Amino acid sequence: MNIQKRKLAELEGVYSTTVIELEGKRHLVAASENREKKSFLFSPPGWELSVLFSEPGGVMNIVQTPGSPRLLSITGFYPIFQSENAEISEICPAGAFRDPWKVSKVLAVPFVHRIGLIECADSSWLLSCALCESKAFQEDWSRPGSLFISPVEETGRHKDWKLKKIFDGLTKNHGLFIHNKNQAYVTAEEGIFLFDFSGYDFNKPIEPVHLSKTPTSDIFIDDIDNDGNLEAGTIEPFHGNAFALYRLADGAMIPLYRSEIDFGHVAWIGRLFGYPSAISAGRGGDKALILYQNKTENIENGQWEKTVIDSGTGATQISVFSEGDTYCIFAANHGIGEIALYTITP
């Protein structure tokens, strides 16, 4: 296996990455958590850099609305937890894609830390996860966070957005993964919750399945051995010291593998070169980006090969995609203020 690294840009406080599609072509977006820092767009074929928008910063994550170039982004979530004025912004092209895009506020959601799009009943909904309700000081976790849902309104109809709280009591509400467009896995100090939004009625409450009571920071879901059962890759506990892999079966989480990390912040699972694979990253210690692979296809046997992709980088988010026989890892290397693209070939 050959790993090549390309530094795409420098960006202080770079925190989030996402892959979007514009006119049928893949583009990459990276943004900073710092105040008044630019967000970048990288365009094919050579990943040419342009400024997506100049301010505000405090970007925790960005999602693209279905069938449209329009993006929805968390803005105003500044370090360290200076986020009482965090909000969700709409980001739309103002001209050509490589010209700066227009940023407009759509919702105020204090301490909103993750957002995702839910599709059900032929409609799109925005799920917003607040890390906490409020803070009196940095390590104050006495006011748990909540989940909110909003129908996604048409571009420009900002005054029509409606925000509804659907669940609360989530301490250190940090992780979100949406599977199959309507299954939301949410992580907190209280564990892992599955919210099923298939057939969701905006006017009714929703009751989650409490899958795990293990304090969990981040989660990624996939079927990595193609057996029809989903697996979960997690960081435990909040910004924790372990990357863990589980099988999901009959409402239970069956432990499969565990590896130590430091200040964990990235959990990804999937298949690379036909093998069950996982990637983790930590922001402490050696700040390594690590690839795990099980080439036996028996993911329960513990025979996972570890490869250090990079170290000293402290990635906060990654996006993984393939181009032909090459796999790419688009990384926000927060620890060194670097946006990087790793290409992996057999």
- Confidence (pLDDT) at 233: 98
Residue 206 lies in a domain: no
Write out residues in the chain with pLDDT < 70, as ranges: none
Q: Domains in the chain: how many in total?
A: 1
> Residue 323 forms beta bridges with which residues?
326
Q: What is the CATH number of the domain that holds 261?
A: 2.120.10.10
- Confidence (pLDDT) at 189: 98
Question: Please, is 45 exposed, middle or buried when counting C-beta atoms within 10 Å of its C-beta (0-12, 13-18, 19+)?
Answer: exposed
pTM of the model: 0.96
| Beta carbons of 57 and 31 less than 8 angstroms apart | yes
Strands 87-92 and 112-120: unpaired
- Confidence (pLDDT) at 250: 86
- Confidence (pLDDT) at 37: 86
Residues 93-119: tens digit of each pLDDT: 999 999 999 999 999 999 999 999 999
| Domain assignment of residue 287, given as a range | 217-346
82 vs 295: CA distance, rounded Å: 44
Residue 190 lies in a domain: no
- Confidence (pLDDT) at 221: 98
Tokens read off for 143: 């006011």
Residue 103 lies in a domain: no
Residue 290 lies in a domain: yes
DSSP string computed for 116-144 = EEEEETTEEEEEEEESBS--SSTT---SB
Phi, psi of 160 (to 5 degrees): -90, -5
Residue 156 lies in a domain: no
